[in-house]
Amino acid sequence: MQDANQYIDETRDGLIAAVQGLTPDQWNFKPAPQSWSIAQNLEHVVIVQERVLGPIGEKLAAAPPAPADHAAEEIDAFVVAAFADRSEKFQGPEAIHPTGGCTPDEALRRLDENCRRLKHYLQSTPDLRRHAIDSLPLKALSRGKFQFMDGYQWLLAAAAHTERHRRQILEVKASAGFPACAESRASVA
């Protein structure tokens, strides 16, 4: 079973490492008109974390117990693997799309704060496994095999989602036309 506390730290640290030292041109570069920039990916991660910490957490607190056939360990493993996997692309609802109203510095500050809050929620909520709610992302990724995620799985999903977008950021950085950093341009001249 994936340790959510450790996974939250690992995925936060990986995302921060992936964006370290970027120039404004690099933050805002889009490999294609319809794709997201690195700044937009980071803002999206923060928005999703805040939904888990807010409305989803509130809904979980009032939710009924997980169904009797809730295969917690199997779903845990599936969430970690499938939510981070970039082999299939999904368009999320408009409510979690980046708005451009967040600078990279602000998004990084919120990322760090959200990860602290996710870990606090994990450590301060003893009954995370007792309540489960319907999960559209889980249904889509599992093609209907799984439908409900308990509180622990939502925390795993938030971390796996962070990893998914770290990978997307690496794809942006590896794409043709990605701006060279200032030091690289200076050494070429």
Burial 105-131 (b: 16+ CB within 10 A, else e): eebbebbeebbebbbebbeebeebeeb
Distance between CA atoms of residues 4 and 21, nearest Å: 28
Read off the DSSP letter of residue 29. -
Task: Give the model's pLDDT for residue 2.
Answer: 60
Name the fold adopted by 4-184.
Four Helix Bundle (Hemerythrin (Met), subunit A) (1.20.120)
The pLDDT of residue 188 is 39
pLDDT at 91: 83
CA dihedral of residues 29, 33, 39, 40 (deg, nearest 10): -170
User: In this structure, is the dihedral angle defined by the CA atoms of residues 54, 169, 107 and 17, taken in order, positive or negative?
Assistant: positive
* Phi and psi torsions of 172, nearest 5°: -60, -45
Considering all CA atoms of the chain, what is the largest pairwise distance in Å, rounded to the nearest integer? 66
Mean pLDDT by 10 residues, the chain (189 residues): 87 98 97 96 97 94 92 96 92 90 96 97 92 95 96 97 98 96 48
Its pTM stands at 0.92
